[in-house]
Amino acid sequence: MDVKVVLSTEEILRGLKHYRRIAKQDLLRAPETPDPEAFRQHAEARRGVYAELSKIAEDGGPDEAARAALRAYQDLPFVTGSELPEHTEIKGRENALENFFLMIGLEPRLRREARSRRPSLAGPAAAVAPELGGEPGDLGA
């Protein structure tokens, strides 16, 4: 996919830092929610994606961060509409990637193309997308 991002690396890093702060606030208020563990997992998943995208943007620039995010989004199992708690982490990653797409002004057509290629969740064993849950550097691998 041909991706051109108009934001600078610094602008992307500032935006991702803001998103990480929001996720951190969500972590702190998790105990006050009806489902603290699910809320915590969702926030942690978002923070992890934002941190990884920050590293990719720093090392490879805005276009590489956008390409890595699109690849990760495309590889993420499709669980939207499911209320099962075991999919909370995937939903958090999905939410973080979609927030990133909004921030960089990604063409909706590109997001739709990536979304249409996403695999359906095969079962509980597929609940973790390794390319988004590993060590730094794994997001775009």
Interval 101-123: pLDDT, tens: 999 999 999 999 999 999 987 64
In a domain, 3, yes or no: no
Give 60-96 pLDDT, tens digit per residue: 999 999 999 999 999 999 886 666 667 899 999 999 9
In a domain, 139, yes or no: no
Domains contained in the chain, number: 1
Average pLDDT of the chain to the nearest whole number:
86
Among candidates 83, 82, 75, which has minimal Cα distance to 128? 75
Residue 130 confidence (pLDDT) above 50: no
Percent of the chain with pLDDT over 70: 81
Residue ranges making up the domain that contains 84: 9-133
In a domain, 79, yes or no: yes
Q: What is the value of pTM for the model shown? A: 0.83
